[in-house]
Amino acid sequence: MLRFIGVVEHAEEKGVARIRIFDEFRDGLEGLDTYSHVIVLYWFHLRDTEEERNVLKVVPRRHPGAPEVGVFTSRSPSRPNPIGLCVTELVRLEGNMLSVKGLDAFDGTPILDIKPYNPRADSVPDAVVPPWALRGPKT
């Protein structure tokens, strides 16, 4: 069974968002502030409809000139399981509140999980992507 562990409460100035982790999961945050970046997994709750869950082909909108591709070839929020993933900078951790920079989620977005970003394990320097994926903003 999937359980949400928190919620995006609001965005602050300069691209910083606040995530409130529910009290029952607060102990799981111990030591997280020793990392500069965290991976946030969240639920695209605004795309959690039968229609959006049936989307299998998309044109990545944030990448000019991108071709139509399969949904698993994109970061589209329309997908069979509307799970989002974002690497963010951990600006501050106070109690059960995380302030993060670079989160691509709306207020009220349910949080599925938080994981520490480890460049040794999470970075692939020689990864290959199609040319269209190199255009546009970071996703």
pTM of the model: 0.91
The structure tokens listed for 108 are 């009220």
Domain 6-118 has CATH 2.60.40.1660: no
Specify the 3-state DSSP secondary structure of 23.
helix
Per-residue confidence in pLDDT tens, the chain, 139 aa: 999 999 999 866 678 999 999 999 999 999 999 999 999 999 999 999 999 999 999 998 888 889 999 999 998 999 999 999 999 999 999 999 999 999 989 999 999 999 999 999 999 999 999 998 888 777 6
Q: Which residues contact 86 (CB under 8 A, 6 or more apart)?
A: 39, 40, 42, 102, 103, 104, 105
